[in-house]
Amino acid sequence: MIRKFIIKLIRVIARVPIGSHRVCAICNKRLGKFLPFRGGSYWTPKLMHVLECVGSDVDNFSCPWCKSHDRERHLYLYMRESGILHNLEGKRVLHFAPELQLANIIQKANPAAYIQCDLHPASSNITFADITCMPFPDESFDLLIANHVLEHVSNADKALSEIVRVLRAGGNAILQTPFSKVLTKTWEDPGINTEIQRFYTFGQEDHVRLFGIDIFETFTKHGLKSLVRSHDDLLSKFSSKIYGVNSHEPFFLFVKL
């Protein structure tokens, strides 16, 4: 009870934009501070810093107004500024582990079909689907979104084959995931299988790998072509500090050949 009250109070205080230019790209509200994830980067395993891991901005995570998280805000900006969002009308979209605010925005863009799915659906509008064995026909989607999903999947190759299978030729896949700028090879090991081991090696209890810079090779060998763009390339006018996003996180956009 007291804990809930304190969390609510912190959220209300964080909304006050005095001396701050921060703004949430999704709800458009000004605010004083984005709230950290689990206390922020001080509590992130030191190995993630050493390996120059690019993922969530845990110090500027949650919007105190709409609760969107940094990866959701960043993906929204990437989709908007690349033109993908404004070109969704009549398209068929498959969205894994859908983020609430982003899902509402996509719905309003009038796609011909919009299927939200998850391995553990949390509500009735979300379909059960295993990304490594999808219950959808071949070439049935124009866009597939998996925002920070593949680091949780035990067989990434199988997931990537399935992603390619359900996309039509010329369809796009958005595959955001944490990765290390230091590792030349993706790091995974079935021996690392407890929550504590995964937390210290991959950065979170439910991550099963840490992608390295071979991520591009891994993604493209299944028949996807990289259209990856950097924050500075596509979002140079959006200050990461003001918008609470990680400017080191690229837009992992691919197209099916």
- Residue numbers at the binding site for Zn ion (CB under 5 A): 24, 26-27, 63, 65-66, 68
Min CB(23)–Zn ion separation in Å: 9
Do residues 257 and 223 lie in contact, with contact meaning Cβ atoms separated by under 8 Å? yes
Closer residue to Zn ion in complex, CB, 27/100 = 27
Closer residue to Zn ion in complex, CB, 72/162 = 72
Min CB(97)–Zn ion separation in Å: 19
Compute the distance between CA of residue 236 and CA of residue 183 in angstroms, rounded to an integer: 27
Residues 118, 123, 129: CA angle, nearest 5 degrees? 20
Q: Which of 228, 227, 232, 180 is nearest to 202 (CA)?
A: 180
Angle between helices 70-81 and 100-108 (to 10 degrees): 20
Compute the distance between CA of residue 98 and CA of residue 147 in angstroms, rounded to an integer: 8
* CB within 8 Å of 211: residues ≥ 6 apart: 150, 151, 177, 178, 179, 180, 183, 186, 218
Closer residue to Zn ion in complex, CB, 68/176 = 68
Do residues 234 and 251 lie in contact, with contact meaning Cβ atoms separated by under 8 Å? yes
Closer residue to Zn ion in complex, CB, 34/141 = 34
Do residues 202 and 189 lie in contact, with contact meaning Cβ atoms separated by under 8 Å? no
Min CB(196)–Zn ion separation in Å: 33
Closer residue to Zn ion in complex, CB, 66/109 = 66
Min CB(137)–Zn ion separation in Å: 36
Min CB(222)–Zn ion separation in Å: 35
Compute the distance between CA of residue 245 and CA of residue 236 in angstroms, rounded to an integer: 12
Q: Which of 23, 41, 70, 95 is nearest to 249 (CA)?
A: 70
- Count CB-CB contacts under 10 A for residue 19: 6
Tell the burial category of 122 from Cβ atoms under 10 Å away from its Cβ (0-12, 13-18, 19+).
exposed
Min CB(34)–Zn ion separation in Å: 9
Closer residue to Zn ion in complex, CB, 25/48 = 25
Closer residue to Zn ion in complex, CB, 33/198 = 33
Min CB(70)–Zn ion separation in Å: 11
